[in-house]
A = this chain, B = another copy of it.
Amino acid sequence: MSGNIKDRATIYGVAKRANVSLATVSRVINGKDNVTEKTRLRVQEAIKDLGYRPSALARGLATNRSTNIGIVLPGVNYVYICNMLAGMIDIAKIYGYQTTLFVARHSKEDAQAVIEKLISSHVDGAVIFDDELDQNEIKYIQNYNIPLVVVGHHMKNENLGSMILDYTTPIINFLKSYFDRGGDEVHYLDVSMAGNMMDEVRDAVLNFGREVGKNIALVHSEDSYQRLYSDMKVYFESDSNKHGLFICPRDSLACAVINAAISSGVKVPEDLEVISIVGTKYSYIVRPQVSSCDIDLFEVGSIAVRMLTKLLKGELDDKNKVFNFTAKFVTRGSTKKN
């Protein structure tokens, strides 16, 4: 490329410089084989000279394909979400898709606004992991013929696949064994705006407690390590709060509970056992390590995007449209051996 470019070269410029029509240039940049080797070289020369790069916008308008997929997330503040995102990005890249990020905070209005953006953006498809969107909103998006992979809802149709992350089963199983070995006192850390997925786990836990006639106490707090840590410091000052089992939504929150407990002289796991629902790197880095549910979220992300690409090619069999991921509970130092 020679020197600076103020106005970006277009396909016309290349055509003129190479003394061909723009159709021929189009053929060359799209790798069609019905072009003479000689003219092809001439065109490529011109492209190089001008530093020409095709405009994805114009191309998208002409072909009605943007080679762009949308990713809808509640944010990138949690490690487990970033793991998933990393998997999505990796695979999208392999398949030649750009990824544009749509973050929907935990509010209905925001979610709606994000949906509108998504529709306008003309992505070829999207992966949605958002706890606030319900099935109706998913269907609303589908009115615009946008192939979708939804993480967290069980749905499928012609243009839609889904992935289920089952944290409930392993947690309930753990609870069972906890009660079996004589455990009695259970606290569930209920943070505000934890999202649908967490709310489902919570409700299942509470239900299970009711079924087996055990009381499960909700402890409310904010979704912040610092805040929770100081709340817990106060909490553990009371003698009645120094034992039992504590269930936390995420492992960094479990760490807040554990750290506060230990610094208050409460022994983990001898006095107090703590588990986390979602497990990430925190779970095995801290001491004591946190017993938690492991799901390879990176894998979840990559599978989701792979499903989407198949959906885009119309190659996704009906039986592969729902993917079930059941978490595996990993016992670590924050709980007693069964």
Contact = CB atoms under 8 A, between A and B. Distances in A.
Contacts of A76: 76, 82, 85-86, 89
Nearest to A143: B5
A100 interface: yes
A144 B5 contact: yes
Range for the number of chain A residues in contact with chain B: 35 or more
Contact of A61 (B5, B58, B119, B281): B58
B77 A66 contact: no
Contact of A57 (B6, B53, B119, B122): B122
A334 interface: no
Nearest to A287: B287
Nearest to A288: B287
A23 to B, nearest CB: 19
A236 to B, nearest CB: 16
A235 to B, nearest CB: 18
A34 to B, nearest CB: 24
B82 A144 contact: no
Given A77-B82, A82-B82, A145 B57 contact: no
B281 A225 contact: yes
A219 interface: no
A55 B1 contact: no
A83 B225 CA distance: 15
A69 B314 CA distance: 30
B285 A225 contact: yes
Nearest to A101: B99
A145 B60 contact: no
A55 B85 contact: no
B103 A56 contact: no
Interface in A1-29: 1, 4-6, 8
A138 interface: no
Interface string A102-142: 11000000000000110111100000000000000000000
Contacts of A225: 281, 285
Given A57-B66, A145-B6, A286-B287, A103 B98 contact: no
Nearest to A81: B82
List the 5 shortest-distance A-B pairs measured between CB atoms, nearest first: A100-B100, A57-B122, A82-B82, A53-B119, A57-B60
26 contacts: A53-B116, A57-B57, A57-B66, A57-B122, A61-B61, A76-B82, A76-B86, A76-B89, A77-B82, A77-B83, A79-B79, A93-B103, A98-B100, A98-B101, A98-B102, A98-B117, A98-B121, A100-B100, A100-B101, A101-B101, A259-B285, A259-B287, A262-B287, A282-B285, A286-B287, A287-B287
